[in-house]
């Protein structure tokens, strides 16, 4: 909205004084709602009041590391959302976003001078937890903090879904696709450990441009691209013979198609009585183009991985069974946070009403409706005129509202029988 019509100076304004930025009430409310939505997604439905230790190894939760209690040189440890508030509120924390299958360490033997206030009866260690340099505030193959005060190159951090470390886009060996084109990333090191994924890249992975990056100096070399021959090979793998087998593969995959719902409920895997054909073995009979780069994957790609007996055994041996779990994805984690907190969000007015008797409830509802109606009518005038709502306008409204309320009360007569 523009300032008041006619170029009139705001009350109390000074000529030549810098103008304050103008933001409409609708903009403020919309921005606040968006920030709340992002926060709910990032926290993934984590409980901010109760320590998660009693739940065991939580599939996914918001996690933090305390640099005050476990600095570099000490054993790494992770704490849940509630403990970050209650036990480490004044400490220096590293936000880890989310890690899979983690149990809260707060107050265990790794914390020499701290006892958990929320769940003090913890075991000495959580042997099932996995740690990396993220717990010391370091990320990527460059092992630098984020944000990095010495790094002047703008770059986004992308999390690998296997090792769950975070990487600079320029340190992945390939130019990342646009953020909307992929949903998950597997880093270079994890692609070497999970080499079977290369067999799926021609059909499932999002194409990238290969690059060379020097970690010694941050000059990025982008002139090494995929050759024409490589591009033709990828197109041949993703088309041609593949098209002829789509119907056959769809019949095998129909029983394991993921849910497209954005809710937190995850699809159930249905097992056929007949042993399914090994998709991986079929793909490995074709020529596979392996590169020393990270790979990028679209949504629902996990549902296309083979789930035959031999492949399930391989996933177990590599400790990557989570790759065939649709509920393991960060998208599922964020959706759970959004849906759970929308369901659990309580109305403060209803909480207040529940604490009152019947007469008080009726009076409060009438007062609330009067305030809502009069405030809406008052603000609509500003919207219709295209003028800015200032602080003194709001103060004037409530002063007049209270005055009208007192006059109505004084006119009332009460009779006792």
- pLDDT tens figures, 193-228: 999 999 999 999 999 876 644 444 444 333 333 444
Phi, psi angle pair for 185, to nearest 5°: -135, 145
In 201-319, DSSP assigns E strands to 209-210, 212-213, 220-221, 295-297
Q: What is the pLDDT of residue 31?
A: 75
Give the mean pLDDT of 15-38: 65
Q: Sorting pLDDT into bands at 50, 70 and 90, what band is 180? A: confident
pLDDT tens-digit series, residues 339-352: 655 555 555 656 67
Output helix, strand, coil percentages for the chain, rounded to the nearest 5.
45, 10, 45
Number of residues that make up the chain: 417
Here the tokens at position 163 are: 């090792």
Dihedral of CA atoms 108, 111, 112, 116 in degrees, nearest 10, equals -60
Tell whether the model's pLDDT for residue 229 goes beyond 80: no
Q: Measured between alpha carbons, how far is 144 from 146 in angstroms, rounded to an integer?
A: 7
Percent of the chain with pLDDT over 70: 70
Q: What is the pLDDT of residue 210?
A: 67
Answer whether residue 236 shows pLDDT above 90: no
The proportion of the chain whose per-residue pLDDT surpasses 90, expressed as a percent, equals: 46
Strand, coil or helix: 7: helix
pLDDT at 59 over 90: yes
Terminal Cα-to-Cα distance of the chain (whole angstroms): 57
Average pLDDT taken over every residue of the chain:
78
Asked if residue 78 lies in contact with residue 105, where contact means CB atoms within 8 angstroms, the answer is yes
């Amino acid at each position: 909205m523009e300032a008041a019509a006619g170029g009139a100076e705001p009350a109390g304004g000074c000529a030549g004084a810098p103008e304050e930025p103008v933001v409409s009430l609708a903009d403020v409310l919309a921005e606040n709602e968006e920030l709340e939505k992002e926060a709910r997604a990032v926290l993934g439905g984590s409980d901010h009041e109760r320590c998660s230790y009693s739940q065991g190894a939580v599939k996914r939760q918001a996690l933090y590391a305390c640099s005050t209690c476990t600095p570099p040189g000490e054993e790494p440890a992770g704490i849940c959302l509630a403990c970050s508030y209650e036990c480490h509120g004044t400490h220096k924390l590293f936000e880890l976003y989310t890690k899979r299958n983690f149990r809260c360490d707060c107050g265990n033997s790794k914390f020499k001078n701290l006892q958990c206030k929320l769940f003090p009866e913890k075991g000495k260690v959580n042997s099932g937890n996995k740690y990396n340099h993220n717990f010391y505030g370091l990320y990527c193959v460059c092992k630098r903090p984020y944000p990095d005060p010495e790094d002047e190159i703008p770059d986004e951090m992308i999390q690998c879904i296997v090792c769950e470390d975070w990487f600079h886009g320029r340190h992945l060996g390939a130019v990342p696709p646009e953020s909307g084109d992929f949903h998950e990333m597997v880093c270079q090191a994890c692609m070497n450990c999970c080499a079977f994924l290369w067999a799926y890249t021609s059909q499932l992975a999002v194409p990238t441009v290969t690059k060379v990056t020097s970690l010694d100096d941050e000059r990025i070399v982008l002139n090494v691209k995929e050759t024409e021959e490589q591009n033709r090979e990828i197109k041949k793998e993703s088309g041609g013979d593949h098209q002829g087998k789509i119907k056959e593969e769809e019949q095998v995959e129909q029983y394991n198609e993921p849910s497209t719902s954005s809710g937190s409920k995850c699809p159930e895997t249905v097992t056929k009585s007949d042993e399914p054909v090994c998709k991986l073995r079929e793909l490995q009979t074709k020529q596979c183009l392996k590169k020393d780069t990270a790979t990028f994957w679209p949504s629902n790609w996990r549902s296309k991985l083979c789930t035959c007996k031999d492949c399930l055994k391989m996933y177990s041996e590599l400790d990557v069974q989570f790759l065939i779990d649709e509920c393991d994805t960060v998208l599922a984690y964020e959706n759970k946070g959004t849906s759970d907190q929308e369901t659990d969000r309580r109305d403060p007015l209803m909480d207040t009403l529940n604490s009152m008797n019947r007469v008080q409830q009726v009076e409060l509802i009438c007062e609330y409706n009067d305030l809502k109606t009069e405030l809406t009518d008052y603000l609509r005038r500003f919207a219709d005129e295209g003028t800015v709502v200032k602080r003194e306008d709001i103060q004037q409204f409530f002063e007049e509202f209270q005055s009208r309320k007192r006059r109505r009360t004084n006119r009332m007569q009460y009779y006792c029988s």
